[in-house]
Amino acid sequence: MKSLKNKHIEIIDNKFTTIFKVENFFDIDTYEELKKNYPVIIPKKKNLNKINPLAGTLKHHEIDNKDGIDFRPKVGTEEKHEFNQLLNENKTLRKIDEIFNSEYFFNFFIKHLKFKTVFDQTNLIRKIKYLRPALNSKKINNNFLNKFVSNISINYSYTSMENKGFLRPHSDSPRKYISLLMYFPDENCDDINYGTSFWSFQRGNYNNVPIINEADFQNFKKNSKLIYRTPFIKNCFFGFIRSDFSWHSVEPIDVKANYIRKTLTVNFMYNN
């Protein structure tokens, strides 16, 4: 993959927040290689059956690259060392890293979604800031230029969620600009409904406070409406533009006891 000129962004919904997809993103051989080499690291010393009090998650683990190069697992030093070693030895993971750090990858999504990132914002200051030209942070070498452009960087994570795991409704960090989700379904399981759910909810989530306690969660479900649930299918980048109303979640489903839900998430991050 050296360009994305033959790829097409299809808008799925844009009433509350822009949801889109890019089908057949990788060539099939690359996708199958990545699926085969998908890094699953589950923390060994952690109570997996308690909801994370800060994030509203259950049985959810991710390893990510904070700067687009170095992977920093959030599950502890043992797993971090294990994954860094795997990255050094795995040409498939290095190939994916090169794609996500390429200019053509960055420019494809910025070019096609630039004005939608502006129109989706309800915050006037953020809307004005987003009108500035968007540049890859790797090209911004001084603070003076930083005043006149939107400084965007990319990171990505490999997420492993165990059977019946979930993410409670949230809108993502205000620093999120665009997010992409690619799934790796198990051909031996019925996991088609284990995608990401997007909700319309009249209350804005300005600081990304997740809905954690059960009473608030039930109130959310009562007063929200499901807009779209991404099918858990292969080789398709589903994406959305972050706004104060980009509510989304992962609902728990029972696939089988040892099932692992695998998702590759790519985030365009706003740095100024």
Is residue 124 within 8 Å of residue 21, measured between CB atoms?
Answer: no
Q: Which pair of tokens denotes residue 153?
A: 């960087």
> Domains (ranges, CATH) in the chain?
10-43+50-270 (2.60.120)
Integer Cα distance of 193 and 45 in angstroms: 30
Is residue 28 within 8 Å of residue 209, measured between CB atoms?
Answer: no
Q: Quickly tell me which residue has 């998702």 as its tokens.
A: 263
pLDDT of residue 88: 81
Integer Cα distance of 215 and 80 in angstroms: 36
pLDDT of residue 186: 95
Classify residue 133 by its DSSP letter.
Answer: P
Q: Which pair of tokens denotes residue 224?
A: 């929200």
Contacts of 244 (CB under 8 A, 6+ apart): 121, 122, 123, 171, 204, 205, 206
pLDDT of residue 64: 45
pLDDT of residue 77: 37
pLDDT of residue 85: 74
Q: What is the mean pLDDT of each run of 10 residues along the chain (272 residues)?
A: 86 92 96 92 50 49 40 40 74 90 94 93 90 88 78 87 86 91 95 96 81 84 95 97 92 90 92 86
pLDDT of residue 80: 56
Residues, the chain, total?
272
pLDDT of residue 97: 86
pLDDT of residue 71: 34
pLDDT of residue 35: 96
How much is the pTM? 0.86
List 170's β-bridge partners, or say none: 248
Integer Cα distance of 241 and 19 in angstroms: 7
Integer Cα distance of 186 and 258 in angstroms: 12
pLDDT of residue 168: 86
Integer Cα distance of 238 and 21 in angstroms: 4
